[in-house]
Structure 1
Amino acid sequence: MTRLSLNQWTTRHWSVAEAVDGCARHGVPAIGLWREKVAEHGLAATAKLVRDAGLRVSSLCRGGFLTGDTWPRDNREAIDEAAELGAACLVMVVGGLPGVTPGGPPGPRASRDLAGARRRVAEALAALVPYAAERGVRLALEPLHPMYCADRAVLSTLKQALDLAEPYPAERVGVVVDTFHVWWDPEAPAQIARAGDRIASYQVCDQIHPLPADALLGRGIMGDGVIGFGPLTEAVRDAGYTGDVEVEIFNADVWAADPDEVLATVRARFDSLVRPALG
């Protein structure tokens, strides 16, 4: 289990302290933190708690939403928090079309200019990279499944994310490979190979079928859905990624279950479905 990381949203109802304690009790050596939870516990207090427990911070989620008007301050704060926590990367969910609220209908001024939204992302990234570099923080662009293009991420494929990252050093701008978001893409294996040392985070979960009414909650524990983890994990391994593997699940039934039971199941499924392909 030396590379397993619990993304905090998998056990959403656990506080930072409970999640850190859970990782320690279950022998999970790393944790992916969420800014909301960190704010509740306190930034300095979280950094100390994680450090004292001997855990790594595999990622901080999230920065991004670069297509709107409020991104500069929020993202600089996120970068500062990632630096304080010693996070391996700051996950960037880049944002959807301007004026489209996540999970809601388009507003009266919603944009339909997809190409323009992508240009906004590129311009914002150019402004943020120097700030992140000064603080030693790696930005990790996460492409999301195309069904989230309108409201959460105008980056839908690894190819798009890599094209956007390419002008910058790999240690400054990387990409997230998330099985839920890329498993469907016939170009994923080739793009994972292309990514190489730009892979900043490997996140795993399943896609349950049929999807629930709220597709955001369509992630399941590995083995509960339709994704084959062997080929994707082997591709990530062969690309040279040696970092933590985060289990990140958004699922109402998982959240309602006993977090200790969830974490025990995550460990078992990771051991049987993901770890063998890591080599």
Structure 2
Amino acid sequence: MADLDGLSINLATLRKQWRFAEAVDACLRHGITTICPWRDQIADTGLAEAARIVRANGLKLTGLCRGGFFPAPDAEGRARALDDNRRAVDEAAELGADCLVMVCGGLPAGSKDLPEARRMVADGLAALMPHARAAGVPIAIEPLHPMYAADRSCVNSLEQALDMAAAIGGGGIGAAIDVYHVWWEPDLANQIARAGRMGAILAHHICDWLVPTGDLLNDRGMMGDGVIDLPAFRAMIEAAGFHGAQEVEIFSDHWWSRPGDEVLATCVERFRTVC
């Protein structure tokens, strides 16, 4: 189905329905050949077997989720995080993923120092880049909505993510732009255009923002069910020069409770009609 070449399914969307191999089979049933798995899903299957499944089915990976979580209370913890991120790079390389998505981490335990947490993130990313470049794996910093600043990511705007990428420099680092996290930003259009000029758009994630939102983590909306202007967002991304797949990433107790084939059919229908 050529019209689905621009659709990717982040396998978090099907996390409660299927394991990795089953999710791949389901995507193929629906004509979807582009995915983004998570590291725990790959570990559950085994890296070698997951890579075999990817190659055997001619799958394209818009990314691997996730690296990051750099901040820690002490040097030992930061070193462990860096080691884990190097392993994540190696996994992304083995799978042939377009990028490794970074959820950078929030405040270390016991800390209230947000600027220091952001410094730890910048330092961790800079330390990781030689390994990532050697492996040929681009690093995609994903800014998260400010409601996650304390526990998931202290990088909370596209501007921050691009500033970090620019400060590190040297290529191979950019941003994963998720509509759920950045749709609200006042300077969004300028920052997306800036990302395009930098060649820094590495992934484009889609879902929707429900009103009301019942859970800050697990109540993302299916495209078209919320308030995000997805066609306008896509137009900005494409005007900036990114024409890669739109990656559906939906954390949702509602959609996790539905049959997986229903979820995929809805993703396909909404991709065709409202994105």
Distance 1:18 1:171, change over 3 A: farther
Answer yes or no: is 1:173 the counterpart of 2:173: yes
Equivalent residue in structure 2 for 1:59, among 51, 60, 63: 63
Equivalent residue in structure 2 for 1:91, among 91, 101, 107: 101
Per-residue Cα deviation, 1:60-105 (whole angstroms, up to 9, x for no partner): 0000001122311211110110000000000000000111xxxxxx
Alignment of 1:85-234 (within 5 A): 85-99=95-109, 110-169=110-169, 171-196=171-196, 197-212=199-214, 214-234=215-235
Partner of 2:247: 246
Per-residue Cα deviation, 1:209-237 (whole angstroms, up to 9, x for no partner): 2111x310121110111111111110000
Whether the 8 Å contact between 2:219 and 2:254 is mirrored in structure 1 is no
Answer yes or no: is 1:47 the counterpart of 2:51: yes
- Structure 1 Cα separation of the partners of residues 174 and 35 of structure 2: 19
* 1:207 CA drift (Å): 1.0
* 1:167 CA drift (Å): 3.3
SS in 1 for 2:184: coil
* 1:50 CA drift (Å): 1.3
Partner of 1:272: 273
- Structure 2 Cα separation of the partners of residues 236 and 168 of structure 1: 23
Partner of 1:102: none
Partner of 2:5: 2
SS in 2 for 1:67: coil
TM-score normalised by structure 1 residue count: 0.92
What 5-or-longer segments of structure 2 have no aligned partner? none
Paired residue type of 2:135: R
TM-score normalised by structure 2 residue count: 0.93
- Structure 1 Cα separation of the partners of residues 28 and 268 of structure 2: 13
What 5-or-longer segments of structure 1 have no aligned partner? 100-109, 275-279
Partner of 1:80: 90
Partner of 1:104: none
Paired residue type of 2:52: K
* 1:35 CA drift (Å): 0.4
- Structure 1 Cα separation of the partners of residues 274 and 170 of structure 2: 29
Per-residue Cα deviation, 1:128-181 (whole angstroms, up to 9, x for no partner): 000111111110000000000011110100000000001345751010110000
Paired residue type of 1:210: P
- Structure 2 Cα separation of the partners of residues 27 and 168 of structure 1: 39
Instruction: Quote the sequence identity (%).
Output: 50
Whether the 8 Å contact between 2:12 and 2:249 is mirrored in structure 1 is yes
Whether the 8 Å contact between 1:170 and 1:198 is mirrored in structure 2 is no
For these two proteins, the number of residue pairs brought into alignment is 263
- Structure 2 Cα separation of the partners of residues 116 and 39 of structure 1: 32
* 1:244 CA drift (Å): 1.7
- Structure 2 Cα separation of the partners of residues 161 and 63 of structure 1: 15
- Structure 2 Cα separation of the partners of residues 266 and 238 of structure 1: 24
Answer yes or no: is 1:22 the counterpart of 2:26: yes
SS in 2 for 1:6: strand
Whether the 8 Å contact between 1:3 and 1:29 is mirrored in structure 2 is no
- Structure 2 Cα separation of the partners of residues 244 and 211 of structure 1: 26
